[in-house]
Every structure is written in structure tokens, then in C-alpha cells.
A = this chain, B = another copy of it.
Amino acid sequence: MQIRDATPEDWPAIWPFLHGIVAAGETFTWDRDVSEEQARAMWLLDPPGRTVVAVAPEGTVLGTAKMNPNHMGPASHIAGASFMVAPEHAGCGVGRALGEHVLRWARAEGYRAMQFNAVVETNTRAVGLWRSLGFEVLATLPEGFRHPVKGYVGLHIMYRGL
């Protein structure tokens, strides 16, 4: 698996699984009916943000991450990031590899901490992955996320120093 900067040519491979994840409405705080144009603008970031893809040896896009300052001005030393892994490649370490990559990037860019604003508490795979990468649940917004099946569930703010 290689992780490299995403290019506009990667978008057609990203959109199908990104769309499916957002439309499912179980893990992401995006409008479930997001248009491809909106999604592209929100996912493919310009500096100081950055977007990467995880790619299999034969070229298949397995997953993607975007990273960016989480706050502006006097709080711009806190980074944020979002991750999408194609469901058919889940459980193979793609999310972990992307997470480790993002942490390296943030340290190299001089960020002092990373904050995830909205990790759905029922997304236990993600919560467990981030914990294993050193993140803690700093707070939980009670009933912060409306899950299509489970109803209102908590929304974690996860954090780690760098």
C-alpha cells in the first residue's frame, strides 16, 4: 500500500465509496444528499490543507484522508483530519496507515495537537483505531448525532498532542 497526494484524476475512484459512506449517514457529519461537486470541493483540499489516497500496488484506491488546520489564527496549531476507507477494503489496515500518515504530516508541519471534531460513538471501529493511535475522547456531545437506525447517539471529540 502506498500513500500519496490525491490528484484530480483520483476523484472518480474516490467518489463512489465516499458517496456511499456519506449517504449511509452512519459515520459522517455531511449532508447525506451531498452533490458530487460539493463533495469534491470539501474533500480535495488546497494548502494549507492536504488530501491523500492509499493505493494498492496495482493502482486501486483503497481509502483517502484529508488533513487541515482545525482552527484559525491563534489556534491554528491544532490540526484536524477526516478519513474514508472503501468498504470492500475495510479491516485491512488502510485506516491505520492513513492515520499514521496524517500524524506524521501534522508533526512535520509543526502542529502541536490533532483534534477530531465529530467521531460517532457507535462507529466503534474508528473510535478504537484512534484510541490505539494515542487519541483520547476529550468530550462527548450527548445525542450529538442522529443515526438512521440507532437514533440520537453521542458524538465524540477526540484529541491527542503531537
Contact = CB atoms under 8 A, between A and B. Distances in A.
Contact of A74 (B112, B117, B139, B147): B147
Interface in A107-143: 112-113, 115, 117-118, 138-139, 141-143
A28 interface: yes
Nearest to A112: B143
Contact of A73 (B29, B75, B141, B161): B29
Nearest to A157: B139
**Identical chains in the assembly:** 2
A32 B73 contact: yes
Contacts of A159: 139, 141
Nearest to A137: B139
B31 A77 contact: no
Contact of A138 (B30, B34, B141): B141
A9 to B, nearest CB: 27
